[in-house]
Each structure stands twice: as structure tokens, then as C-alpha cells.
Amino acid sequence: MTGALATLLPLAQIDTGDTAWILASTALVLMMTIALGVFYTGLVRAKNSLNTFMMCVSSLAIGGIAWALIGYSIAFDGEGAILGGLGHVALNGVGFEPRGEGTIPHLVFFAFQGTFCILTLALVSGAVVERMRFGAWMVFGALWSVLVYAVLAHWAFGGGWLAENGLLDFAGGVPVEMGSGFAALAAALVVGARKDYGRQALLPHNAIYVLLGAGLLWFGWFGFNGGSGLGTNNASVLAFVNTMLTPACALFTWFVLDLVRGRRVTAVGAATSIIVGCVLITPAGAFISPGWAMVLGFLGAIPCYAVIVWRPRTRVDETLDVLAAHGIAGFTGILFLGLVAQVGWNGVADGLFYGDAGQFWSQALAAAVAPAYAFGATFVLLKLVGAVMPLRASEHDEAVGMDVVFHGEEAYASGEGAILVQPEADGELLVADPS
Amino acid sequence: MKLVIGIVRPEKANDVLEALYRAEVRGVSLSRVEGHGGELERVETYRGTTVKMGLSDKVRFEVAVSDAFVQPTIEALCEGGRTGEVGDGKVFVVPLEQAVRIRTGESAEAAVTPVVAR
């Protein structure tokens, strides 16, 4: 009785301001999955646009359920080096009391972290759109959320071995960005290229969606980074401000690189650079000064641009360039913060430029290990799923388009030639009599 | 002088263009049309509304050619457009009374002989 009562009473260490902001941040990050759906949908052909969006929407279901049932426990229960425990399976022990030293209810922390798992899973879909079977995607997604995302989240955030080794990762350079980016590369290799890849121009069907999605992602990223201080503290404030600065500088660099390469500034490129900028600052968050955050945007965009230009010349149909925009940007951000972190700003650690070479090596270890695990585990997982069920649609279905094949809907249905079918009492579907 | 009309699957339009190019047929118009050629009807559902989609998207090629090019054009349309399943489309050949190139006023065979912009 007293236990149940205690959970309902406000606890001394909970801060209402902190809780309010993380509640809002959680909603912002959840919206990012839909924003990503808009972004991805604009980048594919019209006949696959609903399916591409639905891969993100399905992440809300399978990522959210997998997180509640087991992923959260693997990531955040206990301080095991490799894996967390099973103490929080199905939200066991997750209540109104704060977690550890926190100032927000454990439930809020759980939900905030859950939105990261959902978004990361949705990111991976960018590698396999326009040909992966929807059912196989969902089976893969449920397993991936637990076996790859939750494990990496434990290493970086949950007291696992990378965190123990001194890794600084503010909002998910390891689990979210390198996790999704290098998993995407593995997924693209296992599922294989679209049948027309490299033979026909496969163009974005709506560049406005691409810009709109990127803009909404940036908006949501203020909750993603700004909430990762887990309160309304200096860390959140600095990460919030840096989330404004780094993408602005990445945009500028992208403009310049576009001008040099093609003499025109492109809209799809601009949208991409917004994502790249947000990813760059994700690991560095509140560990680096606003000035260095701007430098990170200016310089960090360059390797991502290079990979985005190079990748389509290969046989690897990593369709929406998750590797370049997330993997490479996350890798760059993780390393960069090891150079320029300042105790004066973050109160935690200095980077190499400020006298602590050890910090850089902690970052470098994570930058080597996280991609290797994300790539290897995803590769094996998809091979196993592929042994049980076909991963990709037939050539015929690919030609028709995923929307009609898997969802029985079209994104831009005209209604011409559509005959209304009336449900009959005996369960038979009969065509309506027009008279 | 004939007008060759080919109605093909939209996903095969690029293959047809490629085949026409290889047959050295230049000067093509194409339009998006909807039609029905005996293929299976798709059932789509939007909330409570279930519909049978009787019409499928197709691409209609129109190629005006001199007599020597009629057969190569037909072959290119068939070769590029074929998947072997119902719904691959049709080719129609109709006589052409007159053709005029708007820019120069040239008519008949001269009007359907392609020139390349420099």
C-alpha cells in the first residue's frame, strides 16, 4: 500500500521544469519519424511513395513495441559491459520515481529514449525502399530494434563498455547515427539493388516534400538534442543553440560545394545538408562551444558531400544515402568532439586541442567499434531473416510499385476507372449496380 | 508515311525509348493514358471504400515515320514493351495523310525525317 501510494506522491528530486521540457521533447522526437517519412517519400518515385512512408509509420509500431517489451531493458537496465539486464522487461519497475540521479520520472525517460529507437529504425528503411517486402521489413525491424539499436544504446548511454571507457556521446552519434548509417549499408548489400538501379534515372518525385521533411526534422531535432540534457540545464541550452548553428553552417558549405560542382545550388542538396548538420551536432551536442559547433558544420559537411557524390557511382544501391547523411556525419561528429570538447563549456572533459588526448582515443574507439557492430550484426540478422522469408519483391511487383502491391492503395489515386464495390450480406464483394 | 501508335506499360517506356533509339527512330511523342487490356483488376481499399481499378496507367507513343521505318518502329515497340504478361499493350499503324514541319513548312516525307538541333 505504501509503495503504491509513494509512486503517486510528488518526489522531492523531481523537477517540474525538467519534466515539462522532456515531455515536450519526447513529442518533438516522435514527430521526427513522420518528418522522416515526408522526407523519404519525396525522394522516391510516386508509385512507391506510400510504402516508403509506411516503413516509417510501421517503425512507430514495431520500434515502440519492441522498446517497451525488451529493448529498453537491454539498453538501460544495469551497468553490464555488453548488455543490460532483463529487470525492466515490459516496463517492469519503470514508474514515477526518477531513474538514478535524474530529475524526471523514469516513465518520461523511458518514453524519450523510446522515440530515439523508433526514429533510428525508420532511418534504416532508407537503404531498402522501393524493393523490400513490407512483411520482411517489419520482422527485421522488430529484431533490429533490440539486437542492434538497444545494444548500441547500452554501450553509449546505458553504462556499457564504451561509456565506461570515457566515450562522450551527447544525443546518439553511436546508436542513432552510426548505428543507422552502417546498418543501412549492410541492408543495402543484403537486399540488393533495385532492378533499374544504374540503368534508369530514378528521381525524387516531389522535392517539396524533401524540403518540408528536412525542415520538420530540424524542428524536431531541437527536442532530440535539446532534450538530451534530460532537463532544462546548461547542457540542454547549449545543445539547443548548437542545433541551430551547425546545420546553418552545413547548409552554407553545401551551397558552396554545389556551386563548385554544378554551378547551381540544389534544393534536394539543401534538404540533405540540413540533416547532415543536425547529425553532425548530435554527438557533440553540449560538449563543444557554439564557435566550434559552427566550424563542425562548415567542415563536417565536406566528407558527407563526398560520399553522397561517390556512392551512386558504385553498384551499392543504398538508396536514400543513410550512410552518408547519418553514418559518415555521426562518425565525423564523434571524432570532432574528441578534438574540441572544452571543460569550460561542458564541465566534463577536454578534447585533444585542450590537452586531453585520451578523450580523443575514447571517441576513436567508438568510431571504430560502433560501425563494425552495426554493419556486422545487421548483415547477419538480415541474412537470417532472408533464410526464412524472401526479403525483396519480385521484378513484376517492383515494376508495378510497392504501393499497389503491398498496400492496395495509391498515393495519387485519380479515381478514374474505379468501380465501387458494395459489401454484400453473405460476405461476397459485388460490383455496385450503377442504376 | 504512317503513324505508328504504341500503347505500353509505363515501367517499360524507358526500354521502348531505348529500342527506338537503337533502331534510329527519332522524333517521338508520348503521353500518359489510362486503359484496359484484359489484365487483372486491382482491388484497392480506402478506409471503408473498396474499389476495383478497371483502368491501368499506360504510356502512348506516337511516331510518324516514312514507309521504310514502319517495320523497325513496330519491332522496337514490341521488343521494348514486352513482359509476356497480359497488359503489355498494342501497336496500331494508321496511314498518314499529311505531315508538316512547323518551323520550315516542309511537308510529307521531309517533315518526318528527323533533323538534329545544333
Contacts of A408 in chain B (CB under 8 A): 42-45
A110 occurs within a structural domain: yes
> Is residue A301 over pLDDT 60?
yes
> Is residue A291 over pLDDT 80?
yes
Q: What is the mean pLDDT of residues A342-355?
A: 95
Q: How far is B59 from chain A (nearest CA, A)?
A: 14
Nearest CA in chain A to B12: A399
Q: What is the CATH number of the domain that holds A249?
A: 1.10.3430.10
Instruction: Flag if A431 and B52 touch (Cβ within 8 Å).
Output: yes
Report the C-alpha gap between A355 and A342 in whole angstroms.
10
Which conformational region is residue A347 in: left (phi greater than 0), alpha (psi within -120 to 50 degrees), or beta? Answer: left
Instruction: Flag if A409 and B45 touch (Cβ within 8 Å).
Output: yes
User: Which DSSP state fits A101?
Assistant: T
Which domains does chain B carry?
A: 2-112 (3.30.70.120)
Whether the complex's predicted ipTM is more than 0.95 is answered with: no
**Nearest residue to A151 via CA among A59, A84, A200:** A84
Domain tally for chain A? Answer: 1
A2 occurs within a structural domain: no
Helix (H) or strand (E) holding A53: helix A49-66
> Is residue A6 over pLDDT 50?
no
Report the C-alpha gap between A142 and A159 in whole angstroms.
23
What is the per-residue pLDDT for A346? 94
pLDDT in tens, A382-415: 999 999 999 999 999 999 999 999 999 999 987 7
Show the cell assigned to A35: 518528418
What is the per-residue pLDDT for A2? 44
A264 occurs within a structural domain: yes
Instruction: Flag if A418 and B46 touch (Cβ within 8 Å).
Output: no
What is the per-residue pLDDT for A1? 37
Contacts of B41 in chain A (CB under 8 A): 419
Report the C-alpha gap between A236 and A397 in whole angstroms.
47
A419 occurs within a structural domain: no
A409 occurs within a structural domain: no
Nearest CA in chain B to A399: B11
Residue-number span of the structural domain to which A203 is assigned: 13-397
A410 occurs within a structural domain: no
Show the cell assigned to A334: 564523434
Q: What is the mean pLDDT of chain A?
A: 93
Report the C-alpha gap between A178 and A81 in whole angstroms.
20
Of A399, A413, A419, the CB nearest to B52: A419
**Residues β-bridged to residue B32:** B59
> Is residue A371 over pLDDT 90?
yes
What is the per-residue pLDDT for A415? 78
pLDDT in tens, B15-74: 999 999 999 888 899 999 988 887 777 888 887 788 888 888 899 999 999 988 999 999
> Is residue A5 over pLDDT 70?
no
> Is residue B6 over pLDDT 90?
yes
Instruction: Flag if B83 and A396 touch (Cβ within 8 Å).
Output: yes
**Residues β-bridged to residue A22:** none
Higher pLDDT, A215 or A78: A215
Q: How far is B27 from chain A (nearest CA, A)?
A: 21
Contacts of A399 in chain B (CB under 8 A): 9, 11-12, 83
User: Which DSSP state fits B40?
Assistant: P
pLDDT in tens, A205-264: 999 999 999 999 999 999 999 999 999 999 999 999 999 999 999 999 999 999 999 999
> Is residue A3 over pLDDT 50?
no
What is the per-residue pLDDT for B108? 79
Q: How far is B100 from chain A (nearest CA, A)?
A: 33
What is the per-residue pLDDT for B37? 80
Higher pLDDT, B43 or A124: A124
Across A227-265, b (16+ Cβ under 10 Å) vs e yields bbbbbbbebbebbbbbbbbbbbbbbbbbbebbeeeeeee
What is the per-residue pLDDT for A435? 47
A68 occurs within a structural domain: yes
A327 occurs within a structural domain: yes
Of B12, B43, B55, the CB nearest to A408: B43
Contacts of A404 in chain B (CB under 8 A): 42, 44
What is the per-residue pLDDT for B106? 87
> Is residue B83 over pLDDT 70?
yes
Interface test with A, best of B8, B9, B40, B50 (most A CBs within 10 A): B50
